[in-house]
């Protein structure tokens, strides 16, 4: 009668192996979820820093544009008018003066 005992032992071993693999898969899944949460947090922080940098660069570009406008509107225009009087030169169609 030892022959019927061998398939039973093999079946029991396979069941135990299946249970062990299931437990390991569950632990691996928990670890993967943990890594996924960390990655999502990192992405969220990076998006926040990117938005702050975008706003700062936009503010800097607006400041640069207003300084350029001031320079072209006030200082350069006065310089060109004074230079024309001194040298009797007429400057026409200069790039940037009409911006």
Query: pLDDT by residue (tens digit) across 61-87?
Result: 999 999 988 888 888 778 777 777 777
| Whole-structure pTM value | 0.50
pLDDT class of 24 with cuts at 50, 70, 90: confident
CA distances from 69 to 11, 27, 34, 55, 80 (A): 85, 63, 53, 21, 15
Render pLDDT for 41-58 as a digit per residue (tens, 0 to 9): 999 999 999 999 999 999
- Report the distance separating Cα 59 and Cα 49, nearest Å: 15
Q: Which is nearest to 64 in space by CA: 74, 72, 54, 75?
A: 72
Helix ranges restricted to H, the chain: 2-70, 77-87
Is the model's pLDDT at 95 over the cut of 80?
no
């Amino acid at each position: 009668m030892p022959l019927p005992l061998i398939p039973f032992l093999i079946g029991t071993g396979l069941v135990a192996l299946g249970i062990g693999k299931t437990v390991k898969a569950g632990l691996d899944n928990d670890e993967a979820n943990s890594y996924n949460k960390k990655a999502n947090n990192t992405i969220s922080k990076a998006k926040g820093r990117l938005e702050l940098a975008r706003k700062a660069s936009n503010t800097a570009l607006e400041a640069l544009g207003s300084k350029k406008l001031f320079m072209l509107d006030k200082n350069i225009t006065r310089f060109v008018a004074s230079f024309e009087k001194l040298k009797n030169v007429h400057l026409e169609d200069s790039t940037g003066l009409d911006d």
